[in-house]
Amino acid sequence: MVEYATIMAELTHKNIILGITGGIAAYKAAVLARLLKAENANVRVCMTDSAITFINPLTFQALSGNPVHNTLLDPHAEAAMGHIELARWADSVLIAPATANTLAKLATGQADNLLTTLCLATCAPIILAPAMNQAMWNNSFTQKNIKRLQQYGMQLIGPDSGNQACGDHGLGRMSEPETIINGLKKYLQQQTPAPQQHPLANINIMITAGPTREAIDPVRYITNRSSGKMGYAIARSAQKLGASVTLISGTVALDCPQGVTRYWAESANDMYQQVKAHIAPIQIFIATAAVADYAPQTPATRKIKKTAETDTLTLTLQKNVDILASISHENPHVFTVGFAAETENVEHYAREKLNNKKLNMIAANQVGHKQGFDVDENTLLVIWENGKKSLPITTKTQLAEQLMQLINQHYQKDQIVRTRSNHETN
């Protein structure tokens, strides 16, 4: 317990999966579960079949306050918290004790039980506390596996040296539970970036905002009720977080936020050209503009005159380019955020857009009379692949700040996943 006072990383409310494998040190995992609970962590225990032969799962159910997970092919577990659910739930996976067998499986990417499968599926850091006989530890297979696991970014705590249950003496003893908890805290502390005032420094963000105007003739156009306020508020908030912001704006009566570079675009096609012209350095693209889906096919070159002969005028509209879909398809490295203004079935249509346009995130809102467009307050339902968050009614400035925080979190997460998968393919 000595180092407790000096190592302050919080485990409070952290979701920790405690993986237990079949070694003689499995009994020490009971102390670990108790210590994790004492730190106010949320603990879910996953045991291999051989771990269960060493210590009864009931012990861990009682200590963690949750049922113990063991079976990969359990239809009940799959419906509630299957391997993917567990993998997503975890903030970190701690395997203690980690047998030579499980280390070998992890090093070769095997997924033949619940624990190894969720390790393969999780983006959370994996921390291993090996425990085995000294000869097993020193075996060159184990040593190669350990090297490989470290190269994959998994963290080791221990093993320690000393007397072993089998009567041998040497390296291979599982570290004491208190040392493991300290190691876990220290590691998570290193992973948690210090609160930054400018978490988006060095990030280039492009935001489209406002309505587009689609010319009917030199003096008339088709447009919509978008005021641009939401997009401008997002630009301001992204700039405050340190990003370098490019704003591609439809015609609005708003001042350019300080420190933001603005380019004007009148029609959807203008906006598309401006976006393409400036997209190269962009890492995050946020499309808030209300871009017209259709535009007059052939705008008249002269003012259309009222005639005495006919009471009707027919305009033929042509579909505009889908700027957001085009950017997301052509620039898969860019983190794309769309907006969906819907009058009904908001979540359904927004999720459809998210999938069809291959976006990272979509912010949806209900629009209608005095709702969404041209007002100062709004609500948003922010949706991503595996989740959603609703931001209750507030000013567009505050909504923009909350949205930018979410975008930042998901962007940073996405970068970690991309780096990890690049690392694995190399």
Ligand X SMILES: Cc1cc2nc3c(=O)[nH]c(=O)nc-3n(C[C@H](O)[C@H](O)[C@H](O)COP(=O)(O)O)c2cc1C
Is residue 126 a contact point for ligand X (CB under 6 A)?
no
Is residue 134 a contact point for ligand X (CB under 6 A)?
no
Is residue 136 a contact point for ligand X (CB under 6 A)?
yes
From the list 42, 64, 92, 102, which residue makes contact with ligand X (rule: CB under 6 A)?
102
Candidates 130-138, 224-232, 279-287, 309-317 — which segment interacts with ligand X by CB under 6 A?
130-138
Is residue 233 a contact point for ligand X (CB under 6 A)?
no
Residue 46 annotated in active site: no
Cβ atoms < 10 Å from Cβ of 210: 29
- Give the start-end residues of each E strand in 88-182: 92-98, 126-130, 155-156, 160-163, 169-173
Q: Which uninterrupted H or E stretch holds 9? A: none
Q: Which residue from 1, 2, 120, 101 is spatially nearest to 50, judged by alpha carbons?
A: 101
Which one-letter amino acid corresponds to residue 117? T
**What gap in Å lies between CA 152 and CA 146, rounded to an integer?**
10
Candidates 65-73, 93-101, 309-317, 326-334 — which segment interacts with ligand X by CB under 6 A?
93-101
**Residue 201 burial class via C-beta count within 10 angstroms: exposed 0-12, middle 13-18, buried 19 and up:** exposed
**Does residue 142 contact residue 104 with C-beta atoms inside 8 Å?**
yes
From the list 30, 45, 51, 146, which residue makes contact with ligand X (rule: CB under 6 A)?
51
- Cβ proximity to ligand X, 169 vs 348, nearer residue: 169
Interaction residues for ligand X, span 137-196 (CB under 6 A): none
| CB 41 to ligand X: min, Å | 23
Q: How many residues touch ligand X (CB under 6 A)?
A: 15
From the list 21, 42, 117, 320, which residue makes contact with ligand X (rule: CB under 6 A)?
21
Q: Which residue from 65, 293, 66, 96 is spatially nearest to 183, judged by alpha carbons?
A: 96
Is residue 52 a contact point for ligand X (CB under 6 A)?
no
- Cβ proximity to ligand X, 36 vs 174, nearer residue: 174
**Does residue 132 contact residue 172 with C-beta atoms inside 8 Å?**
yes
| CB 179 to ligand X: min, Å | 17
> Given the rule CB under 6 A, which residues bind ligand X?
21-25, 48, 50-51, 99-102, 131-132, 136
Residues with a catalytic annotation lie at 166
